[in-house]
Amino acid sequence: MTLRTMGRFLPIVQWLPRYRRADLSADTLAGLIVAIMLVPQGMAYALLAGMPPETGLYASIVPLILYGLLGSSRALAVGPVAIVSLMVASAVGGLAETGSDAYLAAALLLALLSGVLLIAMGAARLGFLVNFISHPVISGFISAAALVIALSQLKYLLGLDIPRSHLITDTLAFAVRHVGDINWVTAAISVAAIALLVYWGPVTNAVLGRMGIGQTTCVAVSRASPLAAVLVSTVVVWAFRFDLSVGVRIVGDIPAGLPPLTMPPFDSALWLDLLPAAALITIVGFLESVSIAKALASKRRQKIDANQELVALGVANLGAAFTGAYPVAGGFGRSMVNFTAGAVTPIASIVTAILIALSILVFTPLFYFLPTAVLSAVIVVAVARLVDVATLRHAWVYNKADAASLIATFFAVLSLGVEIGIVTGIGLSLVLYLYRTSKPHVAIVGRVGSSEHFRNVLRHQVRTCPHVLAMRIDESLYFANTNYLEDYLLAKVADDRRIKHVVLICSAINFIDTSALESLFRVISELKDAGVTLHLAEVKGPVMDRLKKTELLDHLLPGKVFLSTHEAMTDLDCV
């Protein structure tokens, strides 16, 4: 194995030999900033996934190191992320009681399955599969998931025991009906925490900037808003013992110590139950990770190898499965912070992992009085930015079909749940695409003045001849639109009995599949039966190469293939 091929499968071989001292300080700083952000986020996302808070920290240690060794992205920050956490809760919630041993075991198994699937997809080079999910579907899915996530936190934010439901209307209705049971101290803490999370960044930036503090410190401090919310609220709850006096829910004991070695359960029935959810978590997690990785890589003219990413994320998830965590992916906000804080290599992620391991060894007693409402506030503020109205607005103006698939995905996720919702959206977007190509744009063209140019008779002043129909079809010919072309042509010919020649202008035809080829054979025969000759014009090179392998050109006779429409029309006495 050469160094080059090794570098492909083990990217660390590429960058480690060239690693410099300056890189290490940049990476350490970036790793520190991400760690400050990730400690409260990790616990919060664990809560969202229905897992104990420490599992979110476990998910931020070994998976980060493994991804760092294998990932092709220099700046992607892996760990627990909001949407995957929601999908874990949705997949496991139906099978076991939240927080039970069975629940934790199922989450481990999800990570294992997801890891295996990712590695298998990477080995089979199936990274391209995510291309079949359109942006409007992703946008609708993420917006709806963000809404579902935010509402799932209402019970913690209000200190209200809202029963689990996948319908947001049920959740809201319950909250309104039981408004009297709200724990108002908890609600006040939530509001204060959200305000602090939202305004901390701008305010500290402005104040520190005015004090002439350096850019890097500004970034570090402004990104510490979750940490600040955690510290302030912990002190307040501890000082007033709100947990005892008014029943504010707190995090309580978090076991100190490094992640445990765990073994996912080997229960084939459970495997089958979780497989569909694992497949979706795999796809959504990969999609999120690879889009961020690509965006960041292109800023530095680096490349991302999608299949290597699959393997790296797969191994990271296996790491999660065997160290008491749950499925991980690349996080958007976190990776942006890592990148802007100056991360040069995956060493930054490894620094983050070490710092989180230290904090779990040393600092967990400090989180005893942390109110869960603050973790929920961290989640809500993080996902609020995921609600994406801009894409809908743009799609609505640009292409209604795309807007429709966005809206359909959004409501499908809200009404049918995350899994069925995204599958519905993907299916619908494919059907809409096929539907569009099944009714291609067809233009009857005529000569512009006495030039050699031919344009749409509906858009331009052009000259035509009654005995020649010249039409251009603006789509490749394949099974879904071949009947349309056939019907269109035969209807035109049936309507106007003066037509003796049809010239099919093929300048926009990039491909003709077997169904369309058969259809052309049939159209030629049917037109001949009706006393009409078909001719082709402006056939592209690759299309012509394929047609020459068939008997179509013989079957076309006396019809001809012309290089240009002008040549065709001149030959057919239409000048």
By CB under 8 A, is residue 402 in contact with a second copy? yes
User: In the complex with a second copy, which residue's Cβ is closer, 436 or 463?
Assistant: 436
Task: At 83, list the tokens.
Answer: 């949407």
By CB under 8 A, is residue 490 in contact with a second copy? yes
**Mapping DSSP to helix (H, G, I), strand (E, B) and coil, where does residue 512 land?**
strand
Using CB under 8 A as the binding rule, the residues of this chain from 332 to 391 that contact a second copy are 391
- The answer to whether the CB of 375 falls within 8 A of the CB of 57 is no
**Mapping DSSP to helix (H, G, I), strand (E, B) and coil, where does residue 445 land?**
strand
Name the residue among 68, 173, 58, 40 with its Cα closest to residue 107. 58
By CB under 8 A, is residue 100 in contact with a second copy? no
Q: Which single residue is written with the structure tokens 């760690």? A: 35
Instruction: Supply the minimum distance, in Å, between the C-beta of residue 449 and a second copy.
Output: 18
* Residues in contact with 463: Cβ distance below 8 Å, sequence separation at least 6, in sequence order: 446, 447, 449
Instruction: Supply the minimum distance, in Å, between the C-beta of residue 323 and a second copy.
Output: 33
Instruction: Supply the minimum distance, in Å, between the C-beta of residue 489 and a second copy.
Output: 10
By CB under 8 A, is residue 429 in contact with a second copy? yes
Name the residue among 368, 109, 359, 370 with its Cα closest to residue 258. 359
* Listed ranges 253-261, 334-342, 351-359, 502-510: which one lies at the site for a second copy (CB under 8 A): 502-510
Measure the CA dihedral 11/16/20/21, to 10°: 110
Whole-number Å distance between alpha carbons of 351 and 343 = 11
* Listed ranges 57-65, 151-159, 351-359, 397-405: which one lies at the site for a second copy (CB under 8 A): 397-405
**Mapping DSSP to helix (H, G, I), strand (E, B) and coil, where does residue 205 land?**
helix
Among 96, 170, 246, 294, binds a second copy (CB under 8 A): 294
By CB under 8 A, is residue 171 in contact with a second copy? no
User: In the complex with a second copy, which residue's Cβ is closer, 456 or 464?
Assistant: 456
User: In the complex with a second copy, which residue's Cβ is closer, 68 or 425?
Assistant: 425
Among 94, 99, 128, 217, binds a second copy (CB under 8 A): 128
Instruction: Supply the minimum distance, in Å, between the C-beta of residue 303 and a second copy.
Output: 6
* Positive or negative: CA dihedral 521, 525, 527, 531: positive
By CB under 8 A, is residue 289 in contact with a second copy? no
Whole-number Å distance between alpha carbons of 337 and 332 = 9
Per-position b or e across 159-185, b if 16+ CB within 10 A of its CB: bbebeeebebeebeebbeeeeeeebeb
Query: With CB under 8 A, what is the number of residues at the site for a second copy?
Result: 72
Instruction: Supply the minimum distance, in Å, between the C-beta of residue 242 and a second copy.
Output: 46
By CB under 8 A, is residue 131 in contact with a second copy? yes
Among 430, 444, 448, 561, binds a second copy (CB under 8 A): 430
Using CB under 8 A as the binding rule, the residues of this chain from 509 to 538 that contact a second copy are 510-511, 513-515, 517-519, 522, 526, 529-530
User: In the complex with a second copy, which residue's Cβ is closer, 128 or 184?
Assistant: 128
